[in-house]
Structure 1
Amino acid sequence: MGIELELHSGRPTRKGSSRDTLLRGSYEHGEALARALSALDRHGSGKLGRVDPYGDTLFNEQEAQVACQEVSVLTQGCTDDHHKAALLDLGWRPT
């Protein structure tokens, strides 16, 4: 089971198309990302450990910033090239 990521400009609506707010999607590294995040503590203070691999997980702007910092730390300690690529994709930021 892989994890798919989407970055939206606002909360996607249930009734309308979520494509209206979609800025970027990441679907390429789902399996590797799921494995990379599976080792994180779900009850810790971090945000990435709270990602639900079976359902939707929403982060507000502040939580997303914390998650990006976590990605940076995880990437530095990552030894698996597939996991590292998935984490780098997760940590994408608009320029």
Structure 2
Amino acid sequence: MGIDLQLHNGRPHWPGRRSKRKPTLIRQSSEHGEALSELIAKLPVNTSGRLWTVDPYNDTVFNEQVAEAALREMPDLLDRCTNDAQVAAAQDLLAYLQECATTPGSYLIFVGD
């Protein structure tokens, strides 16, 4: 089980659906999926944070405002890392959150298994 990341520059385009929207994918990452899933599972639930809401089994979508709020949780997430794979996953997530938060109209999608 892992969580892949996709950054879109607009409302995501799902190829299987009938839509006249153009593809919006800017970049994606799947190399740290399992470590990212492990980290998300360590977060306390029902808090004011955003990252704990990421569903490892379904897709979770953050817009630029939610990504900006989630950036405040990253120091805590980095403190929870127990190995190099988790550190790499957290740093990858940090980069995606920063890019989403600074790109107007963008969306970060956590693609669950």
TM range (shorter): 0.7 to 0.9
Alpha carbons of structure 1 residues 51 and 89: separation in structure 2 relative to 1, 3 Å: same
- What's the CA shift string for 1:12-49, capped at 9, x where partnerless? 13425998111121100000000011011231111110
TM-score (norm 2): 0.73
What is the aligned length?
A: 95
Q: How does 1:22-61 map to 2 (within 5 A)?
A: 22-61=25-64
Q: Identical aligned pairs, as a percentage?
A: 47
TM-score (norm 1): 0.85
Whole-angstrom CA distance in 1 between matches of 2:2 and 2:67: 20
Question: Greater relative contact order: 1 or 2 (C-alpha under 8 angstroms, separation 6 or more)?
Answer: 2
Equivalent position of 2:93 in the other structure: 90
Alpha carbons of structure 1 residues 18 and 44: separation in structure 2 relative to 1, 3 Å: farther
Alpha carbons of structure 1 residues 19 and 81: separation in structure 2 relative to 1, 3 Å: farther
Whole-angstrom CA distance in 2 between matches of 1:91 and 1:20: 24
- What's the CA shift string for 1:36-66, capped at 9, x where partnerless? 1101123111111000000010112110111
* Structure 1 letter corresponding to 2:84: D
Residue aligned with 2:28, SS: strand
Gaps in structure 1 of 5+ consecutive residues: none
Q: RMSD over aligned Cα, in angstroms?
A: 2.3
Gaps in structure 2 of 5+ consecutive residues: 103-113
Contact 1:11 1:21 in 2 (8 A): yes
Equivalent position of 1:12 in the other structure: 12
Larger strand proportion, structure 1 or 2?
A: 2
Q: Which moved more, 1:18-27 or 1:64-73?
A: 18-27
